């Protein structure tokens, strides 16, 4: 009878040890890449071009280069993807442009930049900018 309790106790201790070790590994998994996204301005009229620059850097204790491609996406008010691009990172710098279509409706849009490595983290950890787009032919949407 004592050996049964001993086996159950050892099993519980092993399960706890494995869970704590797994949790410790999850806590060590951190985002070592940093992206700073800058646009030429924050207000656009439909039909204009969004010019952006992104600065890519890594923490000092990380491997030399983790990512070589930056993904840039533009989302509308309802978080629907409007357009996306893949741009090569050269010497920690990315420059590009996104053409706003004439049919874009008036509202707030989100410009997001990330690497494949950063997809391992929540969307809230990705670099995002809020920009405004005005279409003179469409009225302002109502406040929700």
- The predicted structure's pLDDT at residue 74: 96
- The predicted structure's pLDDT at residue 51: 97
- The predicted structure's pLDDT at residue 140: 67
Which CA distances in Å does 39 have to 17, 98, 99, 136? 48, 11, 13, 22
pTM tops 0.75:
no
Alpha carbon 109 to its chain's center? 15
Rg (CA), the chain: 23
- The predicted structure's pLDDT at residue 110: 95
Which CA distances in Å does 99 have to 50, 52, 64, 82, 124? 6, 11, 33, 11, 25
What string of pLDDT tens digits covers the 144 residues of the chain? 667 777 777 777 767 767 665 555 555 566 688 899 999 999 999 999 999 999 998 877 666 667 889 999 999 988 999 999 999 999 889 999 999 999 999 999 999 999 998 888 888 888 999 999 999 887 766 666
Kindly tell me the burial class for residue 77, based on how many C-beta atoms sit within 10 Å of its own C-beta (0-12, 13-18, 19 or more): middle
- The predicted structure's pLDDT at residue 71: 95
CB 52 within 8 A of CB 72: yes
The residue ranges of DSSP E strands in 20-80, in sequence order, are: 33-39, 43-45, 49-58, 69-75
CA-closest candidate to residue 45, choices 144, 142, 143, 132 = 132
């Amino acid at each position: 009878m004592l050996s049964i309790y001993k086996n159950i106790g050892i099993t519980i201790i092993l399960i706890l040890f494995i869970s704590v070790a797994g949790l410790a590994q999850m806590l060590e998994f951190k985002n070592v890449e940093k992206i700073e996204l800058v646009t030429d301005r924050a207000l656009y009229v439909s039909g204009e071009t969004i010019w952006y620059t992104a600065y890519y850097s890594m923490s000092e204790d990380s491997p030399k280069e983790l990512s070589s491609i930056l993904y840039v996406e533009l989302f509308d008010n309802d978080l629907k993807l409007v357009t996306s691009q893949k741009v090569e990172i050269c010497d920690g710098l990315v420059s590009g442009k996104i053409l706003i279509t004439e049919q874009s409706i008036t509202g707030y849009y989100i410009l997001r930049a990330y690497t494949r490595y950063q997809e391992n983290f929540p969307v809230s950890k990705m670099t995002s900018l809020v920009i405004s787009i005005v279409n003179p032919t469409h009225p302002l949407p109502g406040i929700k």
